Amino acid sequence: MLKIQKIVADKIGQKMNLSPISYFSTPEDIISATNGKPYIVVSYWAFTEFPESLCNKVEPLLKNAEIALLASNPFFEGVDNKKYFERLNKRLSGKSFEFKTISWNPYKKHFMYGCKI
């Protein structure tokens, strides 16, 4: 999956004329490295499979991102991710958000969540 993420992120970065894409292991590493620089967040299924405590650490990164693109299962380990994103929308006020069902998905149950400043 990381290879797919790198391909998509690199394409978005090139199209938006952003600095080269960097990859990090912890939210703290990202906060330190971005320090006021523009960045995007791309996560295919991983973000909504984090423990809630880690999602809370990542939330400031989403708030300050130029773009956030997240793919998600509707439910994971008893968590309703669509409701989670609806609550997240309220906490990240001032952004425009959009939910889309992933039409190419054979299961027709996954969705994309995207926000842009």
The band of 77, judged by pLDDT with boundaries at 50, 70 and 90, is: confident
- Write out the residue range of the structural domain in which residue 47 sits: 2-116
Tens of pLDDT, residue by residue over 3-25, are: 777 787 778 877 877 777 777 77
- Please tell me the predicted confidence (pLDDT) of residue 23: 75
Cα dihedral: 96, 89, 55, 32 (round 10): 40
Is the whole-model pTM more than 0.85? no
pLDDT of amino acid 117: 42
Residue 43 tokens read as 């996560």
37 SS3 class: coil
Q: Which helix (H) or strand (E) covers residue 66, if one does?
A: none
**Per-residue pLDDT tens for 95-106?**
666 766 666 655
How many domains, the chain?
Answer: 1
